[in-house]
């Protein structure tokens, strides 16, 4: 038993749950592989319209599973493979997913937890959650791709503070820094996220996919001048049923109904 | 009557007013064209030193004029022309303007309103203003260039929340997210903006133009290493009267007087 | 006496002090050169693990030394040399430094002071500090590289406000805008910074250097896809004593001891 990543689909909302009992859901190597499998699968499913990512038992993710580290970290090629293949493949599968992803963050959100949260589109946290990447205490840096990810999403100020000073920040600070969309009482976080996910799931799914593709291009450095090249057929949706239904419903003053 | 964009110059301050009565200043196709004409004209005027952009009747801009959509949105080439030519030409004329632009935001700032506000340098809002881009309810995405613009200026967190969750945010949240310079009581917003515009108009106009060119290069992805190539003659101002007057006035402990 | 940049190393923490008595530590040309010398020297020292940058006598840095300006600013080539060679060489030496840099900001942090603060990794300020770059009052723009630096670190909203409206902002606003990690009472700022520096100095120095290299690549525009190329040997640390000590100490539930 080295941890799992659980997938549960209820209606149009998928729940992805990091589960590593007794380790605050620290990511084992097996879990990085499982994370990738779950998101590759989600990307194929046309019935899912929103994904909630959370951790089991009141913790989001406490980082990597350090008990595994002596087996591979002290050899350069093994370390490279771990970061570039295993970890990044998991994160990349999240970044490549065209569905809206909501992080529901309780308890510890450290190291790998920060990276997973950075791959989500929206981030909601409980008031008592804690955020950081204090791996300089363990004598190692964040891998370059992962540092670029956290720098981009959490901002340089926060990423540098977490990595260079090993500072752990609370939810109120992460809200103020623009990392969280909302902070909620720990006891109401799950219901707030569920409500939001249900709302997201009723919006146009094609619109979400196209917006995610635009944001992906932006995240990789695209700006206004290059954005038109970021999506293969940015206006092919013109003639779609979803587009017509949304505009028509508005003009007819009724709620739209979007088929997947 | 499909809406207008009004230009009024008083002294060194220009007022650009979005006007579409009964539609909360939603942008019609005619208004995108008018917006472009106004800003192309402003860019030529050496008497103007600051531009205030606002909406008529207590609303900044409620988005696009949806009543026009059935006429062109459901055909791919027409949709592309609308976004890439009409909308973007209007926004680009704002981004290309070398004058300091201040957005005075009251009431609704939605969709096209967010995009127009993102083209301004400073953003002041009334306490009761509301911000969003809930077009996923209408079954369509933001065009890639426009999403890149909003992602860059409003931040990815806010842009993703607006587009993927159709969330509408209030002024206090937009201030906290770093989108607004100031939030003011609705009743004092106009006078606060007018004071600021008057102050901006007294600063060196050549300095403003050069700073805007540097920021434009930065906005398009330029960073420290490439910045020196962003302006044709970054130090040609050395020998200008404005430069000499500013430094000399400071050393003589008097107020500078800048000719346009 | 045209100002100095003082270097004092106590244990693993270096204090870099801007000193220009009677001028609120405004940067003279001599000080830009001295700043460069200090940071080139620091980059070579393996005994230093954290650098605190502050100003003497209750002011961080009030800008440039305007009394020197008539001597060189009004001639294009001299002005270019000043910005591109003297000023940028000083700032670049800070950006190139692989040590964690903490700005301790009291009183005035204007113009050159903002630029120096932007080169630091962490920024702590006293409650009464003031921030800005009101050089448009002097009739000149920020140089393009410097504007790109301030735009990147302070954000476009703040950079445009400082340069286009000559607005001076207080510590509370700069904290809210995400420029400061912490705001503290003026009387406790120095001890807060000293505690933080001592904590940073106990973390793995190799980890800090590698993290700083990743952040440097990010700052220059690198993103996730290009990050792997940003460091020559990103995983060569695998077999280092520091890495082994950090992970082993954690698993043995003891504090790590990192040799430089």
Q: What is the pLDDT of residues C18-70, one digit of tens each?
A: 999 999 999 999 999 999 999 999 999 999 999 999 999 999 999 999 999 99
Whether the Cβ atoms of residue A116 and residue A67 lie closer than 8 Å to each other: no
Selected for mutation to probe chain A from B71, B73, B146, B148 (highest A CB count within 10 Å) is B148
Query: What is the mean pLDDT of the segment spanning B132-156?
Result: 96
Query: What is the mean pLDDT of the segment spanning B11-27?
Result: 98
pLDDT class of B226 with cuts at 50, 70, 90: confident
Distances from the Cα of B97 to the Cαs of B100, B210, C148, in angstroms?
A: 8, 11, 19
Q: What is the DSSP letter of A141?
A: P
- C231 has a pLDDT exceeding 90: no
Q: B149 to chain A: which residues are within 8 Å by CB?
A: 224
Q: What is the pLDDT of residues C118-177, one digit of tens each?
A: 999 999 999 999 999 999 999 999 999 999 999 999 999 999 999 999 999 999 999 999
Query: What is the mean pLDDT of the segment spanning B27-55?
Result: 97
| Comparison of pLDDT for C119 and C1, the residue scoring more | C119
Q: What is the largest CA-CA distance in chain C?
A: 65
pLDDT class of C232 with cuts at 50, 70, 90: confident
Q: B242 to chain C: which residues are within 8 Å by CB?
A: 139-140
Q: B83 to chain A: which residues are within 8 Å by CB?
A: 235
Q: Which chains touch A (3 or more CB pairs under 8 A)?
A: B, C
End-to-end Cα distance, chain B: 37
Q: What pLDDT is stored for residue A245 in this prediction?
A: 94
Q: Which chains touch B (3 or more CB pairs under 8 A)?
A: A, C
Q: Which two tokens stand for residue B70?
A: 């059935």
Q: What pLDDT is stored for residue A21 in this prediction?
A: 97
Q: What is the DSSP string of chain B?
A: ---EEEEEEETTEEEEEEE-TTTTTPBPHHHHHHHHHHHHHHHH-SS--EEEEEEGGG-SB-SB-GGGGGGTTTSHHHHHIIIIIIIHHHHHHHHT--S-EEEEE-SEEETHHHHHHHTSSEEEEETT-EEE--GGGGT-PPPHHHHHHHHHHH-HHHHHHHHHS---EEHHHHHHTTS-SEEE-TTTHHHHHHHHHHHHHTS-HHHHHHHHHHHHHHHTT--TTTGGGSSSSTTGGGG-HHHHHHHHHHHTTS------
Q: Which of B152, B153, B181 sits opposite C161 (nearest CB)?
A: B181
Whether the Cβ atoms of residue C42 and residue C90 lie closer than 8 Å to each other: no
Q: What pLDDT is stored for residue A118 in this prediction?
A: 98
Q: What pLDDT is stored for residue B82 in this prediction?
A: 97
Q: B160 to chain A: which residues are within 8 Å by CB?
A: 100, 121-122, 211, 215
This prediction's pTM: 0.97
Minimal C-alpha gap between C218 and chain A (Å): 6
Burial of B41 (0-12, 13-18, 19+ CB in 10 A): middle
Q: Per residue of chain A (260 residues), give pLDDT as tens.
A: 699 999 999 999 999 999 999 999 999 999 999 999 999 999 999 999 999 999 999 999 999 999 999 999 999 999 999 999 999 999 999 999 999 999 999 999 999 999 999 999 999 999 999 999 999 999 999 999 999 999 999 999 999 999 999 999 999 999 999 999 999 999 999 999 999 999 999 999 999 999 999 999 999 998 888 887 878 899 999 999 999 999 999 999 999 999 76
Minimal C-alpha gap between C176 and chain B (Å): 7
A206·B142 Cβ contact <8 A: no
- Give the C-alpha separation, C7 to C9, whole Å: 7
Q: What pLDDT is stored for residue C1 in this prediction?
A: 65
3-class SS of residue C21: coil
C165·B200 Cβ contact <8 A: yes
Q: B222 to chain A: which residues are within 8 Å by CB?
A: none
pLDDT class of B1 with cuts at 50, 70, 90: low
Burial of C116 (0-12, 13-18, 19+ CB in 10 A): buried
Q: Which residue of A has its CA nearest to B165?
A: A200
A210·B141 Cβ contact <8 A: yes
Helix axes C156-164, C144-154, angle to 10 degrees: 130
pLDDT class of B230 with cuts at 50, 70, 90: confident
Q: Which of A123, A178, A247 sits opposite B139 (nearest CB)?
A: A247
B242·C165 Cβ contact <8 A: no
- The percent of residues above 70 in pLDDT, for chain A, comes to 99
Q: Which of A221, A222, A247 sits opposite B138 (nearest CB)?
A: A247
Q: B137 to chain A: which residues are within 8 Å by CB?
A: 203-204, 246, 250, 256
- B124 has a pLDDT exceeding 90: yes
Q: B235 to chain C: which residues are within 8 Å by CB?
A: 76-77, 79-80, 83, 143
Q: What pLDDT is stored for residue A260 in this prediction?
A: 61
- B260 has a pLDDT exceeding 80: no
Q: What pLDDT is stored for residue C225 in this prediction?
A: 82
Q: What is the DSSP string of B49-105?
A: -EEEEEEGGG-SB-SB-GGGGGGTTTSHHHHHIIIIIIIHHHHHHHHT--S-EEEEE
C235·A80 Cβ contact <8 A: yes
Q: How many CB pairs under 8 A join A and B?
A: 162
Minimal C-alpha gap between B74 and chain C (Å): 36
Any residues with CB less than 8 A from the CB of B122 and at least 6 apart, and which?
Answer: B100, B101, B102, B103, B181, B196, C157, C160, C161, C164, C165
Q: Which residue of B has its CA nearest to C162?
A: B122
- Give the C-alpha separation, B25 to B55, whole Å: 7
ipTM value for the complex: 0.97
Q: B199 to chain C: which residues are within 8 Å by CB?
A: 165-166
Q: Which residue of C has its CA nearest to A88?
A: C224
Q: C136 to chain B: which residues are within 8 Å by CB?
A: 203-204, 207-208, 211
């Amino acid at each position: 038993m080295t941890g799992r990543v659980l997938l549960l689909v209820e209606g149009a909302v998928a729940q992805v749950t990091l589960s590593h009992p007794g380790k605050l859901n620290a990511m084992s190597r097996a879990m990085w592989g499982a994370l990738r499998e779950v998101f590759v699968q989600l990307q194929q499913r046309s019935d899912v319209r929103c994904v909630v990512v959370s951790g089991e038992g009141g913790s989001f993710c406490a980082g990597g599973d350090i008990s595994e580290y002596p087996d591979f970290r002290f050899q350069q090629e093994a370390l490279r493979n771990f970061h570039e293949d295993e970890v990044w493949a998991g994160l990349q599968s999240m970044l490549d997913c065209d569905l809206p992803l909501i992080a529901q963050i309780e308890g510890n959100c450290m190291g790998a937890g920060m990276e997973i949260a950075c791959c989500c589109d929206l981030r909601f946290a409980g008031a008592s959650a804690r955020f950081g990447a204090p791996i300089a205490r363990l004598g190692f840096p964040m891998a370059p791709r992962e540092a670029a990810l956290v720098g981009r999403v959490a901002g340089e100020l926060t990423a540098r503070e977490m990595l260079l000073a090993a500072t752990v920040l609370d939810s109120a600070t992460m809200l103020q820094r623009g990392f969280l969309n909302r902070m909620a009482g720990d006891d109401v976080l799950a219901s707030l996220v569920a409500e939001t996910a249900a709302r997201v799931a009723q919006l146009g799914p094609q619109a979400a996919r196209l917006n995610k593709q635009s944001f992906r291009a932006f995240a990789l450095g695209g700006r206004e001048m290059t954005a038109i090249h970021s999506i293969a057929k940015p206006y092919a949706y013109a003639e779609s049923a979803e587009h017509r239904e949304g505009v028509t419903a508005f003009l007819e003053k009724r709620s739209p109904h979007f088929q997947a």
